[in-house]
Amino acid sequence: MSAAGVLALQGDWDAHRRILQRLGAEARTVRTAADLEAVGALIIPGGESSAMLRLMESEDLFHRLRERVAAGMAVLGTCAGVILLAEAVEPKQPSIGGLSVTAVRNAYGRQLDSMVAEVELTPELGPPSRIEGVFIRAPRISRTGPEVEVLGRWRGDPVLLRQGLVLGATYHPELGADARVHEMFLRMGEDGHA
C-alpha cells in the first residue's frame, strides 16, 4: 500500500499516526490538497466536525475528500470523522458521505459525559470479543443503510461500522491499547484501490 495519511487539522491525529507507524505503515500528515494526493488511504480523526469543515475550506479539501472517497479510497473516520463521513447528520451540516448512516452529533452528552465503555465486537475482528471504547462527545448512529455492516456495538447502538472501504468508529480507538481497528483499516487500504 502507498502511504496512509492522517488528516491533521484538528483532534489527536498524532495518536493515529503513531499507531500506524507502530504497525509498520508509512504514515503521513495531510493538511493540503497535495498531501491528500500523496496518500492511498486516510484517517479522519476526532475533533469538532464543524471546525474541521471550516479548516478544509482553504485547500478545498472537503470536495477533494468527497471525490477520493467516492473513487474508492480506504478511509477510517473516528468520532467527528464518522460525522464527516455520514450520509446524513443531525443537526444538519455538510458531510463527505461514504457511510450510509445518520449520525447524531453529541448524542451521548457533552465533554463531562465522556466515558470508557466496553464495545462488543463481531467475530470478524477476532478475540477477544470486547474492546475498550473511549467515547468523547461521541455521535450516535440513529440509522444504518442495508449496505452498512455493524462490526461493534455498545448497549445495542452501532459504534463500529464498515461500508466497502469506509470504516467508522464513533469512539476513539487511537486512545485504547487494542490496534485491531487500525489493522483492519490498513488491510482495507492494501486490498482497495484509491
User: How far is it, in rounded angstroms, from Cα 121 to Cα 108?
Assistant: 20
Q: Give Cβ neighbours of residue 34 (< 8 Å, ≥ 6 apart).
A: none
Instruction: Give buried/exposed letters for 13-39 (b at 16+ CB in 10 A, else e).
Output: bebbbebbeeeebebbbbbebebbeeb
Radius of gyration of the chain (CA): 15
Catalytic residues, which ones?
Answer: 79, 172, 174
Q: Angle between the 13-22 and 180-191 helix axes, to the nearest 10 degrees?
A: 70
Instruction: Report which DSSP code applies to 112.
Output: G
Task: Say how many residues make up the chain.
Answer: 194
Q: Supply angle C-alpha 182, 186, 191, rounded to 5.
A: 145
Residue 142: is it exposed, middle or buried by C-beta count within 10 angstroms (0-12/13-18/19+)? middle
Straight-line distance from the first to the last Cα atom of the chain, in angstroms, rounded to the nearest whole number = 10
